[in-house]
Chains A and B, each alone.
Chain A
Amino acid sequence: MPATPTTPSAPEPAAPDLQAPVLEVRDLAKLYPLTQGVVVKRRIGAVRAVDTVSFALRRGETLGIVGESGCGKSTVAKLLVSLERPTAGTIHYRGEDITRLSGRALRAVRRNIQMVFQDPYTSLNPRMTVGDIIGEPFEIHPEAAPKGERRRAVQELLEVVGLSPEHLNRYPHQFSGGQRQRIGIARGLALRPEVIVADEPVSALDVSVQAQVVNLMERLQDEFGLAYVFIAHDLSVVRHIADRVAVMYLGRFAETGTGPEIYDHPTHPYTQALLSAVPVPDPVARTRRTRILLPGDVPSPANPPSGCRFRTRCWKARDRCATEVPVLAVPPGATGPAAHASACHFAEEHAEVRA
């Protein structure tokens, strides 16, 4: 696993700046207005997809963001690569706030923050050859490679991600899911970005192929010093690849910390429940594990619960949780690995729950 030894294990946001972060996100929020009416649109409310999310990402580091569907993790990805404009908050790339940029300046920043998409079957244009798909970044950013070198650059990229350079003239449908995801990664890599935002990059792949792609991403990180924001619903994959992990629930971070802190010493009840629910491919290990079954479903982000957003499903919920929003901070009195940021009034380790 790359970069682990140098990564400081202190929790966010109070990270000691051994290295200046490549990407620094402060109080990011995204509201989607809910409207009614066809011609005259009336605003009847808003979906708070992302609500005051903050984190920092250092060079060569992997931040895993885990959460269930609808928790806003994909919106975070879109905000990071400027596919959406945030309603509030800032995203600093190397000290520059990219949320205010547009036109040429934005395009320059985009070179450095690239995205890998979830579904390799829809993220590649079916009517473009692989060579055109991987070469498109160079056409959009002509300064990245002189015209005569582009073809060779594309072939090298194919080789870097483990595909044959002769496959240049093939179309995406001629490849398997895993190979398509490699093409998507090659496209993301073309401009030599510093940050790659990967939104569920392996969820659509078969089990035996997932491992290939995860290993490839780790190798590329070592080779090019990439920083990843790795977004997934699969806690196992995130544990494998991430240096630091943020658990997201209804648009907010519930808990953040290093891998061992989150997986072995979770203090937020949601993290605990989530970890306990993950099926483990080992019938023996499963008998040792306590399972916490959460009641009900994730509430609608259009109408989130007051106070702590998890309280409607939480077994620890009291009156205070309905009125007071818990801040993401190290719980007072926590020691050792349990001392990491957790947004719960009653954060504490659950003796029987760990992954």
Chain B
Amino acid sequence: MAARLLEVRDLRVEFRTRDGIAEAVGGVSYGVDAGRTLAVLGESGSGKSVTAQAVMGILDSPPGRVTGGQVLFRGRDLLTMGARERRRIRGAAMAMIFQDALSALNPVVSVGAQLAEMYEVHRGMSRKDARRRAVELMDRVRIPAAGQRAGDYPHQFSGGMRQRIMIAMAMALEPELIIADEPTTALDVTVQAQVMDLLAELRREYAMGLVLITHDLGVVADVADTIAVMYAGRIVETAPVRDLYRRPAHPYTRGLLDSVPRVDHRGERLYAIKGAPPSPLAMPSGCPFHPRCPRAQEVCRTERPPLYEVATADATRAFGASPGSGASGASAVSIASSASPGSGAPPAPGGRTSACHFWKDELDARDSHDALGA
């Protein structure tokens, strides 16, 4: 099997703080192939952004520090690479889109010049050619009257337009991988839809891999192929998007799904996960979710659950039935988070995993839940 576009293996990140060392990311593994979208879903503090920063090599260190694992980009480990080589890959082959476009753009340089700079620096183009390419790019991300607006400054654009400019900057060198960290969180719903559509379209057109980091279960449902749910610095569940929403195999995922109010039907009282996420300085023993988990047993307090492979007759059927994912199965997105260091190999593509001792019960519970609802 050819090397995957991006494969993260057992990545660990620590933060040094005044109050001690906090393990922000504790052994995360995931992978994405060209042309696919992996969504990393998690709340604030789950380590989803830190993982992405470590992958991009833009982790603030100190206080952050990668303490273990591998980040393989086309089979080459970025973490052991020289700083120069890594910088070259970072600019040209992988790019990142941030949540806050206004602070990610230089306020005193016109957007056209900022885009052109990418070509001048990385491609050695002349100023004139670079400018022309910049306008083309702005056009490509559907900024109206791109030619006239290239001279405008970031604050003169609306939030949605600024996010398009961010996307244009990320796209400028036609990277193979884009990591988008909450790209639409700051935007209004109507604009959110436009920007997500644009991202999806560009991903298809350029056959890029997309890692979408978000807390929004709705956005994920719209665009992702595969979802990795993170909690307290670890992946707790991975699944193809439809399976995850239909039958979550981890109580945390289930809690999240049940606690979101839905615009398409008015529910009774919302289900609320009790408590708050743990601090990386005071991780609970055993399963980090056990203090908040309705399913917690004695074993959950003492034993950290490994990532179990979730096998359901149902899931297999779903996969066989879908010709698209069946054919591209070998190159589909696959993910894993390993509980024990070293065993970083992701499971069979398209497979599901869950870091819950009682994943089977959780799956069945969802079935009966559905049956009751129907």
Interface residues of A (CB under 8 A from B): 1, 68-69, 176-179, 206-212, 214-215, 218, 233-237, 239-241, 259-260, 263, 273-275, 277-286, 289, 291, 293-294, 296-298, 355
Contact = CB atoms under 8 A, between A and B. Distances in A.
Contact of B221 (A176, A215, A286): A286
Interface string B66-109: 00000000000000000000000000000000000000000000
Contact of A208 (B188, B259, B261, B264): B259
Interface residues of B, number: 49
Question: A-side binding surface: helix, strand, loop or mixed?
Answer: helix
B160 A281 contact: no
Nearest to B267: A240
Interface stretch (B2-10, B115-123, B129-137, B238-246): B238-246
B23 to A, nearest CB: 19
Contacts of B255: 208
Given A209-B276, A283-B245, A239 B189 contact: no
A297 B161 contact: yes
A274 B189 contact: yes
A280 B263 contact: yes
B277 interface: yes
A208 B256 CA distance: 6
B270 A214 contact: yes
B266 A239 contact: yes
Given A178-B276, A207-B260, A275-B263, A68 B215 contact: no
Contacts, number: 143
Interface string B280-315: 000000000000000000000000000000000000
- Per CB-CB distance, the 7 closest pairs between chain A and chain B, nearest first, are A279-B218, A281-B217, A211-B259, A240-B261, A68-B188, A211-B272, A206-B43
Contact of B241 (A206, A277, A283): A283
Given A215-B269, A283-B241, A68 B190 contact: yes
A274 B274 CA distance: 31
B197 interface: yes
Given A206-B215, A263-B263, A355-B263, A211 B276 contact: no
A273 B188 CA distance: 12
B330 interface: no
B273 A208 contact: yes
Given A211-B271, A236-B260, A236-B263, A274 B216 contact: no
A294 B261 contact: no
Nearest to A209: B276
A207 B43 contact: yes
A281 B245 contact: yes
A96 B265 CA distance: 38
B262 A236 contact: yes
* Most central of A240, A293, A294, A296 by chain B CB within 10 Å: A240
10 contacts: A178-B276, A210-B260, A212-B272, A240-B261, A274-B190, A279-B196, A279-B218, A281-B218, A289-B264, A293-B193
B193 A280 contact: no
Contact of B218 (A210, A280, A298): A280
Contacts of A178: 276
B269 A281 contact: no
A237 B190 contact: no
A179 B274 CA distance: 12
B149 to A, nearest CB: 13
A281 B244 CA distance: 11
A176 B188 CA distance: 26
A252 to B, nearest CB: 17
A87 to B, nearest CB: 26
B38 to A, nearest CB: 15
Contacts of B160: 297
B18 to A, nearest CB: 13
B245 A206 contact: no
A69 B43 CA distance: 23
B141 to A, nearest CB: 14
A207 B258 CA distance: 10
B264 A211 contact: no
Contact of B189 (A68, A214, A215, A259): A68
B146 interface: no
A296 to B, nearest CB: 8
B43 A280 contact: no
A286 B194 CA distance: 16
Nearest to A206: B43
Contacts of A274: 189-190
A279 B222 contact: yes
Interface in B139-173: 144, 158-161
* Most central of B262, B266, B267 by chain A CB within 10 Å: B266
A285 B144 CA distance: 33
B259 A207 contact: yes
A219 B256 CA distance: 21
B200 interface: no
Contact of B245 (A233, A284, A297): A284
Contacts of B191: 68, 297
Interface in B177-232: 188-194, 196-197, 215-222
A259 B266 contact: yes
Given A240-B266, A280-B263, A293-B197, A207 B215 contact: yes
